[in-house]
Structure 1
């Protein structure tokens, strides 16, 4: 049995396990399984790696950066981004990849169509935000970061005036705010400054319409949640594991 999985903590509502289990069943792939490995600290990965038949695993919050010291190699993209969400296990060792970038780019382009906003706001500074920033750089979209502490030149949420929000036509939520079961949460910003020329992308996918997206849509903004991004990163991970 070839085994794949997901490390992170907590893993109460895992897209990946459901997605791959359904995929294997639909395709009649009987020799593969996918399971969750909820590890409270990154050191727990050492036990995960002893699991018989393990061929690869996905990495989610909060270990997308912490996993790197355990790897023997990184793809060029993972190295450039500085975060890993997919690990392939071979006799030669463990190689880290970032398929979040692939998933985000594909989904973002579907949202934007032919439009390329001049400036974006990226809310959050964790591993997921690194893939977002990498893709924006590739697309030539300038961006400003927003964080709670305002370190490294980022805005704080208190800095976000209506003028700043109007000047940034793409806003990406790369924080967990608004995720089920805390679905009433959302990033603090002047939503009244949003309009029909804005695009809001939320990496959260559960609920499908977060408070962030709901408030944006009420102002006429185009919106998209993180589901298509997750599908894209999962398909790319499956491709990598089977190369």
Structure 2
């Protein structure tokens, strides 16, 4: 039986195992999907050696960038983005302990395809990206390719960034897309939300949350209360997962 899995920490919030387990059952695929929590990215070697039938991995917080030095090759989009969420494992058929790891980024595809239908080109010209981790890098690349100007929002100052306490009414008014690419609001901390001035949101705003558990985060609810268009990350999850499956089985 082929094995696939997810590495990250923590993994209580992840739906990937449920998604792939249901897919395998529905399509009569003889495979299993495991959640593997690791406290240090160096443990990826142990994971691959322990699970000799492992053919592919998804990568989530906090390892999308940290995993890169452990890979033998990056796909062009992963190299461009600087983050990996899918790994294909090719093993030596004569020695399962010898393997070749190639990293990909399907977050880019999932995010771009899921947000594109919601964008009104007359209104949605600039975006704020909350968070600067690995997922945000795929978001930023998609925004660039969609022709949308962007800036990060972070707790620390830096180039092409606002800090949260710098967000004025004028900034919120001029950035009509706001994307939560941080884990804030994820189960079990469902009562938390990014610290932005929600009172300045309008019906022209589009709020997108990469979080999908819960389905409606506090971030999205506050946007909906102001009449904004909202979307969570569930469709992005499905799209990136199907893209990962194509990579693993190519």
| TM-score interval for Structure 1 and Structure 2 normalised by the shorter chain | over 0.9
Q: Which of 105-114 and 198-207 deviates more?
A: 105-114
Determine the C-alpha separation between the residues in 1 that align with 2:165 and 2:209: 20
Determine the C-alpha separation between the residues in 1 that align with 2:88 and 2:227: 42
Show the counterpart of 1:203.
210
Show the counterpart of 1:102.
109
Determine the C-alpha separation between the residues in 2 that align with 1:130 and 1:13: 21
Question: Is this contact kept in 1: 2:123–2:176, CA < 8 A?
Answer: no
Secondary structure of 1:186's match? Answer: coil
Q: What TM-score do you get using the length of structure 1 for normalisation? A: 0.97
Q: Which of 110-119 and 59-68 deviates more?
A: 110-119
Q: Which deviations, in whole Å up to 9, do the C-alpha atoms of 1:136-179 show, x marking residues without a partner?
A: 00011000110001223310000001110010000000011111
Show the counterpart of 1:43.
42
Show the counterpart of 1:33.
32
Determine the C-alpha separation between the residues in 1 that align with 2:82 and 2:145: 15
Shift in alpha-carbon separation, 1:149–1:242, aligned structure 2, 3 A: same
Secondary structure of 1:151's match? Answer: coil
Show the counterpart of 1:88.
88
Shift in alpha-carbon separation, 1:54–1:147, aligned structure 2, 3 A: same
Show the counterpart of 1:136.
143
Shift in alpha-carbon separation, 1:53–1:113, aligned structure 2, 3 A: farther
Determine the C-alpha separation between the residues in 2 that align with 1:28 and 1:59: 25
Shift in alpha-carbon separation, 1:39–1:83, aligned structure 2, 3 A: same
Q: Which of 87-96 and 58-67 deviates more?
A: 87-96
Show the counterpart of 2:67.
67
Determine the C-alpha separation between the residues in 2 that align with 1:139 and 1:115: 13
Question: Is this contact kept in 1: 2:123–2:204, CA < 8 A?
Answer: no
Determine the C-alpha separation between the residues in 2 that align with 1:113 and 1:158: 28
Secondary structure of 2:66's match? Answer: coil
Determine the C-alpha separation between the residues in 2 that align with 1:20 and 1:124: 28
Unaligned runs of 5+ residues in structure 2 are 92-98
Shift in alpha-carbon separation, 1:214–1:62, aligned structure 2, 3 A: same
Question: Is this contact kept in 1: 2:4–2:57, CA < 8 A?
Answer: yes
Q: Which deviations, in whole Å up to 9, do the C-alpha atoms of 1:176-225 show, x marking residues without a partner?
A: 11111111111111111111111000000011010000000111100000
Q: What TM-score do you get using the length of structure 2 for normalisation? A: 0.94
Question: Displaced runs of 4+ in structure 1, greater than 2 A?
Answer: 110-116
Unaligned runs of 5+ residues in structure 1 are none
Determine the C-alpha separation between the residues in 2 that align with 1:114 and 1:108: 12
RMSD over aligned Cα atoms? 1.2
| Pick aligned residue for 1:157 from 132, 154, 164 | 164
